[in-house]
Amino acid sequence: MDTISENRSFGGIQGVYRHHSDSCGCPMTFGLYLPPQAATAPVPMLWYLSGLTCTHENAMVKAAAQQHAARAGIALVFPDTSPRGEDVADDKDYDLGQGAGFYVNATQAPWAPHFRMWDYVAEELPRLLDNAFMIDPDRQAITGHSMGGHGALTLAMNLPGRFASVSAFAPIAHPTQSDWGRKQLGAYLGDDESAWAAHDATLLMRESGFGGPVLVDQGNEDQFLDLLKPEALAEAMAARRQPGQFRMQKGYDHSYFFVSTFMGDHVAFHADALGLA
């Protein structure tokens, strides 16, 4: 693993690292914020999964999460959103291919050789972090924005016991019924829609829900509301009586100004679930 950069931030270290990924078959870059508390003992970890067009960097520099993580004593992990490189398949559209991995293991050509973001985030990167950093693998939580909110919710509900809590900012909430979902799940997983269900937060919420608390924030001025379909997830949470909160935030759009506004609430929510508050 190569260190790309390390900068002091709120008493901790914001690092950027690159390593060869066996899952994705290419070099992958991630950001990791270690709070001051990691200097003396392993700390719990909050995953932040990013949205379409993002690299590891967008949230790292725009979500304003480090100050809250430093206060709580929690590490932040910022994975990339897809495999990348000249040998990696891509598409002319921003919402497919590089920058749009959708947190699935692709089974279809030309994506299958590299687009294995599920394995990367669920298996490979946690192992690497556990081996290389002062992280407590038994205390993890997960959040994300838009496509990353979809990733956070689907990972959390598919891996019971892994995450103490899950939250999401404007998640792609019902991808099997949205143009942000049908196109990508079809391309990566094929035409058999039964393979898509495990990657739809609304269907998973209806089917099983999540064993810990859930927090979802959504701006009511979000320019992508029709693609995100927040009402489907909110209805599924209510029908299941899922412990948690779905908050419709007046006047907020889809941008990182929205994410950074509520980041403190989300870190505090996860800190509480992780026993830090």
Nearer to ligand LAXINWYW, 58 or 82 (CB): 58
Residue 257 interacting with ligand LAXINWYW (CB under 6 A):
no
Residues 129-148, interacting with ligand LAXINWYW (CB under 6 A): 145-147
Q: Which tokens hold the place of 179?
A: 């143009």
Q: Which residues contact 26 (CB under 8 A, 6 or more apart)?
A: 20, 83, 84, 85, 87, 88, 114
> What are the E-state strand segments in the chain?
2-9, 12-21, 26-34, 43-49, 75-79, 135-144, 166-169, 214-219, 244-249
222 classed as catalytic: yes
Applying CB under 6 A, the site for ligand LAXINWYW has a residue count of 13
Nearer to ligand LAXINWYW, 145 or 199 (CB): 145
Helix (H) / strand (E) element for 236: namely helix 230-240
Residues 49-68, interacting with ligand LAXINWYW (CB under 6 A): 51-54, 58, 62
Catalytic residue among 146, 165, 167, 178: 146
Give 244's Cβ-side CA count (13 Å radius): 31
Q: Which residues contact 31 (CB under 8 A, 6 or more apart)?
A: 14, 15, 16, 17, 56, 57, 59, 60, 76, 77, 78
174 classed as catalytic: no
Residues 194-253, interacting with ligand LAXINWYW (CB under 6 A): none
Select from 75, 40, 19, 18 the least CA-distant residue to 274: 75
Q: For residues 277 and 24, give the distance between their C-alpha atoms in angstroms, rounded to a whole number.
A: 36
Distance in Å, CB of 260 to ligand LAXINWYW, minimum = 11
Select from 265, 274, 176, 272 the least CA-distant residue to 229: 176
Residue 31 interacting with ligand LAXINWYW (CB under 6 A):
no
Residue 94 interacting with ligand LAXINWYW (CB under 6 A):
yes
Sheet containing strand 26-34, strands side by side: 2-9, 12-21, 26-34, 75-79, 43-49, 135-144, 166-169, 214-219, 244-249
Minimal CB distance residue for ligand LAXINWYW: 51
Distance in Å, CB of 73 to ligand LAXINWYW, minimum = 27
146 classed as catalytic: yes
Nearer to ligand LAXINWYW, 147 or 156 (CB): 147
Distance in Å, CB of 95 to ligand LAXINWYW, minimum = 7
Distance in Å, CB of 46 to ligand LAXINWYW, minimum = 18
Which residues are part of the catalytic machinery?
146, 222, 254
Contact residues: ligand LAXINWYW, CB under 6 A: 51-54, 58, 62, 94, 145-147, 254-256
